[in-house]
């Protein structure tokens, strides 16, 4: 696979797709063409030039996904500056810390976030601007930024007196080896690190998406995952913009009701999602239906079960818009029971594997070739190995190297040395096995693996996956307490209310859940007790539980 220059990909795409729709705000319905996007980028480049911004300077960006968010990101990378996307769900103290740590000279921030940040906590930034328009919130040297914002229209007309055309698109000549992005992780270990991604790392992901046909010219995409996260950024924004797709930005919290309506309206040709969406649909809609007496009896009869499964599949396909090639699940492990059911009904889905440190993709297989329980084949531009004497059968830590692997953690050589070897191998922190063709099967995180009294390896995620499908369980964590396994459970109060059970009276139901769970797991994985949690588990912006708070 040929890796193109990251910046030139967009110079070529914006010229070739000038008249096509590029970005639509789902709420307002307003659409910008590729030509209008390129013109706004050119206007922003003039602003950068006027304030003296240099290629390689850092620009921080924090706000909810929007058309303007995309424009700022693309203007930054095509100028040759380094983008520092910050998840809007980070608390204000963390946002300020990231802006300072990244040494950002410019900070674009949404008004709703800026009002919670103390300006004096920003130590090095030269100017703070509104993500929604050229409004200056703060600047070190009086009037430089404000004047640049006031004069931008006049300067643009002077630079392009005959109007801005496709032939006017010329972006910086910056090699793929140069730093393009610093993405601060929001992992479950409580420590945020700045992942340094080069043009090569980002282009590796984008070029794979282009050659795989994940998106294509005039295809439709619905972006509802956070674009500040590597997964959504690479495959809901960077890859679609590289080929001339039409991206609709949801711009609101993707609750099941909101999301299903948007999917029906947009009818995307590819759906990029996280496991939580499919798991909620399965638990709240499919599981109750197939558990009913008549349906359960039908599923036990050969041939009749196919009729039921086909109806369920068709309804699910229609719910996702009905015109997609496949649903790619990533960002976290998919519940095994859900995965096996979706495979049984022949729903077109596949599970990929990646991490921010690879910008993010490591492995992927098209849905027709996907193996249940796997996370896809290692990409052609990547290598993988399992630190085990028998990688196909005995789990070990997964290590990868290749085009997508980060340069390291920004200003953190100690953390970089812990995960990156001098031969380029990245320790993922995930434990699993690997088949001969490079297909990866992930068991869990090395840091969460528990050891039983008899020396057996216990992967709590596998137990939690079974537990989370049981009645009255919303979410769970399995931890070791005094040498015994304990399940921390936040109950599904909505389900309990529907069944007429008060929250305080869930004890008998949890005893039944415990008994059923212990029938499904290995003897050394049996849970000693269930402890009910009064509130939801605290989570990262990616909705992963912060396990370190409960261990």
Integer Cα distance of 328 and 321 in angstroms: 14
Integer Cα distance of 269 and 236 in angstroms: 12
Residue 345 tokens read as 């009904």
pLDDT at position 189, please? Answer: 43
pLDDT at position 267, please? Answer: 98
> Is position 257 within any domain?
no
For range 528-544, the mean pLDDT: 84
User: Does residue 465 share a domain with residue 365?
Assistant: no
Integer Cα distance of 404 and 235 in angstroms: 14
Name the phi and psi angles at 483, rounded to 5.
80, 5
SS3 content of the chain, % helix, strand, coil (to 5): 40, 25, 40
Does pLDDT of 295 surpass 80?
no
pTM for this entry: 0.86
pLDDT at position 257, please? Answer: 86
Q: Mean of the per-residue pLDDT values for the chain?
A: 91
User: Does residue 78 share a domain with residue 99?
Assistant: yes
> Is position 104 within any domain?
yes
Q: Could you report the per-residue pLDDT of 18-73, keeping only the tens digit for each?
A: 999 999 999 999 999 999 999 999 999 999 999 999 999 999 999 999 999 999 99
Picking from 426, 443, 460, the residue at the C-terminal end of a domain is 443
pLDDT at position 301, please? Answer: 67
Cα 410 to chain centroid distance, Å, stands at: 21
Query: What contacts 83, CB < 8 A, 6 or more positions away?
Result: 58, 59, 61, 73, 76, 77, 180, 181, 182
CATH number at residue 67: 3.40.50.12780
User: Does residue 427 share a domain with residue 478?
Assistant: no
346-to-310, 313, 314, 315, 341 alpha-carbon distances in Å: 8, 7, 10, 12, 9
Residue 273 tokens read as 């999602």
Q: Report the Cα–Cα distance between both ends of the chain, in Å, rounded.
A: 43
Indicate the pairing of strand 408-409 with strand 194-198. Answer: antiparallel
Q: Could you report the per-residue pLDDT of 407-424, keeping only the tens digit for each?
A: 999 999 999 999 999 999
* CA neighbor of 357 nearest in space, from 423, 405, 403, 402: 405
Q: What percent of the chain has pLDDT over 70?
A: 95
pLDDT at position 454, please? Answer: 60
pLDDT at position 504, please? Answer: 67
CB 544 within 8 A of CB 476: no
Picking from 196, 224, 251, the residue at the C-terminal end of a domain is 196
Integer Cα distance of 205 and 209 in angstroms: 6
> Is position 205 within any domain?
no
> Is position 175 within any domain?
yes
Cα 150 to chain centroid distance, Å, stands at: 37
User: Does residue 410 share a domain with residue 509?
Assistant: no
Indicate the pairing of strand 31-33 with strand 21-25. Answer: antiparallel
CATH number at residue 482: 3.30.300.30
Integer Cα distance of 203 and 241 in angstroms: 12
Model confidence band, residue 541 (pLDDT cutoffs 50, 70, 90) = low
Integer Cα distance of 450 and 413 in angstroms: 29
> Is position 46 within any domain?
yes
The position carrying tokens 């095994």 is 336
Helix or strand holding residue 145 (H, E): helix 144-159
Q: What percent of the chain has pLDDT over 90?
A: 70
User: Does residue 147 share a domain with residue 50?
Assistant: yes
Q: Could you report the per-residue pLDDT of 123-151, keeping only the tens digit for each?
A: 989 999 999 888 999 998 778 888 888 88
CB 181 within 8 A of CB 85: yes
> Is position 255 within any domain?
no
Integer Cα distance of 548 and 188 in angstroms: 7
Alpha helices in 238-367 (DSSP H): 239-243, 256-266, 275-281, 287-290, 293-299, 304-319, 336-344
Query: What contacts 237, CB < 8 A, 6 or more positions away?
Result: 70, 73, 223, 227, 247
Picking from 414, 443, 472, the residue at the C-terminal end of a domain is 443
Q: Could you report the per-residue pLDDT of 351-375, keeping only the tens digit for each?
A: 999 999 999 999 999 999 999 999 9
User: Does residue 489 share a domain with residue 345?
Assistant: no
10-to-155, 205, 222 alpha-carbon distances in Å: 24, 14, 20
User: Does residue 484 share a domain with residue 462?
Assistant: yes
The count of domains in the chain is 3
Does pLDDT of 204 surpass 60?
yes
- Which residue segment(s) compose the domain that 435 sits in? 271-323+326-443
Integer Cα distance of 327 and 317 in angstroms: 10
Name the more confident of 541 and 59. 59
């Amino acid at each position: 696979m040929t890796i193109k220059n990251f910046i030139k990909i967009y110079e070529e795409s914006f010229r070739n797709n000038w008249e096509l729709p590029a970005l639509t705000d789902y709420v307002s319905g307003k659409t910008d063409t590729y030509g209008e996007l390129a013109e706004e980028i050119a206007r922003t480049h003039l602003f950068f030039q006027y304030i003296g911004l240099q290629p390689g300077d850092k620009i921080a960006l924090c706000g909810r996904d929007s058309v303007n968010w995309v424009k700022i990101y693309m203007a930054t990378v095509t100028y040759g500056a380094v983008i520092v996307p910050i998840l809007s769900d980070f608390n204000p103290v963390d946002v300020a810390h990231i802006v300072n740590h990244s040494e950002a000279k410019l900070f674009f921030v949404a008004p709703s976030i800026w009002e919670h940040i103390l300006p004096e906590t920003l130590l090095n930034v030269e100017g703070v601007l509104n993500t929604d328009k050229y409004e200056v919130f703060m600047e070190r040297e009086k009037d430089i930024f404000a004047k640049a914002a006031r004069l931008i229209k006049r300067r643009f007309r002077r630079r392009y007196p005959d109007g801005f055309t496709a032939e006017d698109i010329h972006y910086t000549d910056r090699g793929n080896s140069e730093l393009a992005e610093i993405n601060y992780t929001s992992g479950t270990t409580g420590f945020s690190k700045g992942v340094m991604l080069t043009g090569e790392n980002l282009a590796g992901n984008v070029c794979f998406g282009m050659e795989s046909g994940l998106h294509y010219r005039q295809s439709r995409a619905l972006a509802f995952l956070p674009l500040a996260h590597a997964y959504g950024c690479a495959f809901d924004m960077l890859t679609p913009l590289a080929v001339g797709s039409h991206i609709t930005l949801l711009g609101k919290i993707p609750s099941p009701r909101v999301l299903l309506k948007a999917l029906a309206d947009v009818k995307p040709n590819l759906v990029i999602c996280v496991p939580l969406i499919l798991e909620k649909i399965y638990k709240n809609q499919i599981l109750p239906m197939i558990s009913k007496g008549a349906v359960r009896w039908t599923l036990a009869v050969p041939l009749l079960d196919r009729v039921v499964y086909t109806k369920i599949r068709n309804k699910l396909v229609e719910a996702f818009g009905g015109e997609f090639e496949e649903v790619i699940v990533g960002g976290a492990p998919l519940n095994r029971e859900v995965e096996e059911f979706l495979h049984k009904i022949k729903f077109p889905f596949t599970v990929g594997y990646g991490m921010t440190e690879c910008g993010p993709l490591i492995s992927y297989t098209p849905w027709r070739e996907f193996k249940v329980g796997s996370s896809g084949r290692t990409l052609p531009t990547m290598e993988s190995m399992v630190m085990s004497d028998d990688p196909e059968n005995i789990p070990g830590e997964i290590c990868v190297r290749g085009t997508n692997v980060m340069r390291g953690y920004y200003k953190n050589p100690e953390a970089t040395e812990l995960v990156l070897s001098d031969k380029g191998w990245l320790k993922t922190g995930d434990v699993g096995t690997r088949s001969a063709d490079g297909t990866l099967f992930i068991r869990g995180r090395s840091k969460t693996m528990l050891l039983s009294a008899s020396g057996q390896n216990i992967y709590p995620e596998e137990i939690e996956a079974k537990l989370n499908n049981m009645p009255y369980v919303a979410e769970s964590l399995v931890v070791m307490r005094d040498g015994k396994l304990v399940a921390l459970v936040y109950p599904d109060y909505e389900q309990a209310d529907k069944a007429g059970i008060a929250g305080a009276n869930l004890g008998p139901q949890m005893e039944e859940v415990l008994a059923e769970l212990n029938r499904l797991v290995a003897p050394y994985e049996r849970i000693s007790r269930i402890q009910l949690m009064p509130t939801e588990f605290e989570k990262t912006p990616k909705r992963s539980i912060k396990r370190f708070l409960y261990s």
